[in-house]
Amino acid sequence: MSSGRGLTLRPGSYSIVRLGPRAKVPAWAAGGGLSSVTRTRSELSIVCRGERVPPRTRREDGFRCLEVDGPLPFDATGVLSSLAAPLARARIPILAISTFDTDYVLVREKRLVAAIRELERAGHSVRVE
């Protein structure tokens, strides 16, 4: 499939952390590759390398990060759906994060091999960094 995207598997394992809505952004949230901080009225959500998260923090561990090779233009359409659709058909849950330059898809490490297989079947290429 010529419309496939290039993706890069980033090294390391990531965690998704939930803090209270008024919590300050902790210093450990930054650095170590991808880090994303999102505040809503009900939570402070952090995605970062798992080894940076202190013990006894509410978290989900064991995610791997696939980065869409970018930068992507803001008027690009269907990028995320071209990744999410084949993974959804294979019943592989994702966490998607979009930034100014590109998109990231996080999948559980135990589903990584299956996720890469499905993405490649859909015409995408995955490079390991």
Range of the domain at 83: 6-128
pLDDT of residue 4: 86
Count of positions (residues) in the chain: 129
Convert the pLDDT of each residue in 7-19 to its tens digit: 999 999 999 999 9
Is 75 within the bounds of a domain?
A: yes
Is 1 within the bounds of a domain?
A: no
Is 27 within the bounds of a domain?
A: yes
Convert the pLDDT of each residue in 15-47 to its tens digit: 999 999 999 999 999 987 899 999 999 999 999
Phi-psi category of residue 32: left, alpha or beta, with phi > 0 → left and psi -120 to 50 → alpha: left
Distance in angstroms (rounded) separating the CA atoms of residues 99 and 85:
20
CATH code, domain with 75:
3.30.2130.10
List the one residue out of 61, 63, 53 whose CA is nearest residue 104.
63
Strand 6-19 relative to strand 59-68: parallel, antiparallel, unpaired? antiparallel
